[in-house]
Amino acid sequence: MKTCLKAALPLTLAAFMLAGCSGGDPASKEEAEATDNEAGHAAAEGDIAVTPKQIRTAGIELIHAIRGGAGMLTMPATIEGDPQATQVVSAAIGGRVVSLTRNLGQSIGRGQTLAVIESREAASLNAEIEAAHARLTLAEASLRREQRLFDERVSPEQDLIAARTTASEARIALRLAQQQAAAAGGRGGALNRIAIAAPLSGQIISRNVTLGQTVAADAELFRIADLSRVAVTVALSPADAGKVKPGSGIEVVAGDRKSVARVDFVSPVLDQATRLATVIAIVDNRAGQWRVGEPVTASIRLDGAASTAGSVLIPESAVQTVEGRPMVFVRTDHGFRATAVTLGAPSGDNVVVTFGLKGGEQLAGTNSFTLKAELGKGETEHGH
């Protein structure tokens, strides 16, 4: 039985580029040899032909080279919820949670019930409302009777005035009882229950309570965020923060995803722990491509800087060493092209490219070593 040479290389793309091996079919053998010759010729020129499906199968991550240099300030950043569209939902009274209507990631509309709490305090609040209703009903009935008697000249005016005062006080007492219950969350259907309502429409991004749990007053139960907009937060040194102004352009990149926005806020106060200044930009997220807590790379255009970029920033995972030279694999219409680069100083998990890339190119990131293996294999076959 014949074996397939490429099938013995599971870590290279050759394992994905050949579906099977032919036993004795001359036509199939000729086609395989032709494919090998073409692959070797492409590899000799630095080109590797692969399909999108083969890229996914090999687990190759696609990333973008980020323009940097004198005109750009490129730093790691974090996606957070928009501070103006994120709200903590807490329990105004303590008690036992008897109902939960939403879980993490689910959507909810403003005013809809998130949870129901059962407690003695809730019973007292609701009982006070019931008592206030009863007192108001009695006071209004007395007022109607005194008004009728006064009209018939049976009762004196001071009795009518007293009845009016009692009815007014009963209305005020009812409103107060209702407001106290509303501040605690509102009615929950039973006399001893309070419903906790959503203060805004959005998604549940945090849930700190389970069914049957006893919670204290003011304990955080949920956190809701409207994720149609998210915030990207960058921590800058005082010197770098001085170069950034509200309205400066910012580009947010993670893998093959990219968004463009403008700086909304540059903190005039340094963080006491890190001694860094916080810069915030609001990013349109209606497509749902960004997740809260996600690490990203942010490039901020500096005021008065030239539009041409000096250097380029890429993840270290995109760099492979071929024959002693650093190389990256640039995405092409038919696969990738091996491109020699000159590297500068590292920056965290990234590295600066001073020559070889213009910025904006799509590259192979994680698992790019499979392309290096395929490139070396192609050059070896071409040499024969």
Least trusted range by pLDDT, from 16-25, 90-99, 265-274, 353-362: 16-25
> 31 and 155 share a domain?
no
* Average confidence score pLDDT of the chain: 80
Q: What is the CATH number of the domain that holds 371?
A: 2.40.420.20
Q: What is the CATH number of the domain that holds 247?
A: 2.40.30.170
Least trusted range by pLDDT, from 58-67, 93-102, 103-112, 345-354: 345-354
Give me the pLDDT at residue 308, please. 37
> 220 and 231 share a domain?
no
Burial 100-120 (b: 16+ CB within 10 A, else e): bebeeeeebeeeebbbbbbbe
Mean pLDDT throughout 38-55?
68
Give me the pLDDT at residue 71, please. 61
Considering the domain boundaries, does residue 301 fall inside one?
no
Considering the domain boundaries, does residue 302 fall inside one?
no
- Percent of the chain past pLDDT 90, that is, above it, reads 27
> 221 and 234 share a domain?
no
Give me the pLDDT at residue 46, please. 74
Least trusted range by pLDDT, from 24-33, 56-65, 153-162, 335-344: 24-33
Domain with 94, as residue range(s), is 90-225
User: pLDDT per residue over 90-146, tens digit each?
Assistant: 888 888 999 999 988 888 999 899 999 888 887 788 888 889 999 999 999 999 999
39 vs 245 pLDDT, higher one:
245
How many distinct structural domains can be found in the chain?
3
Give me the pLDDT at residue 224, please. 92
CB 222 within 8 A of CB 260: no
> 208 and 235 share a domain?
no
Residue among 113, 130, 258 at smallest CA distance from 185: 113
CA quadruple 336, 338, 342, 345: dihedral sign: positive
Give me the pLDDT at residue 190, please. 65
Considering the domain boundaries, does residue 121 fall inside one?
yes
Residue among 56, 109, 61, 54 at smallest CA distance from 329: 61
Burial 294-329 (b: 16+ CB within 10 A, else e): bebbbbbbbeebeeebbbbbbbebbbbeeeeebbbb
Among 225, 245, 278, where does a domain finish? 225
Least trusted range by pLDDT, from 18-32, 80-94, 223-237, 341-355: 18-32
Predicted confidence (pLDDT) at residue 80 exceeds the cutoff of 50: yes
CA quadruple 263, 265, 269, 275: dihedral sign: negative
> 185 and 215 share a domain?
yes
> 189 and 210 share a domain?
yes
> 220 and 100 share a domain?
yes
> 200 and 134 share a domain?
yes
Considering the domain boundaries, does residue 304 fall inside one?
no
* Contacts for 375 with CB less than 8 Å, ≥ 6 apart: 43, 46, 48, 322, 338
> 234 and 219 share a domain?
no
Give me the pLDDT at residue 8, please. 34
CA dist 249 and 64 (Å) reads: 18
Beta strands in 272-378 (DSSP E): 277-284, 295-301, 312-315, 320-322, 325-331, 335-340, 342-347, 350-355, 362-364
Among 225, 242, 269, where does a domain finish? 225
**166 falls in which pLDDT band (50, 70, 90)?**
very high
CB 196 within 8 A of CB 117: yes
> 261 and 190 share a domain?
no
The DSSP code for 294 is -
**83 falls in which pLDDT band (50, 70, 90)?**
confident
Considering the domain boundaries, does residue 115 fall inside one?
yes
Among 204, 225, 246, where does a domain finish? 225
Considering the domain boundaries, does residue 306 fall inside one?
no
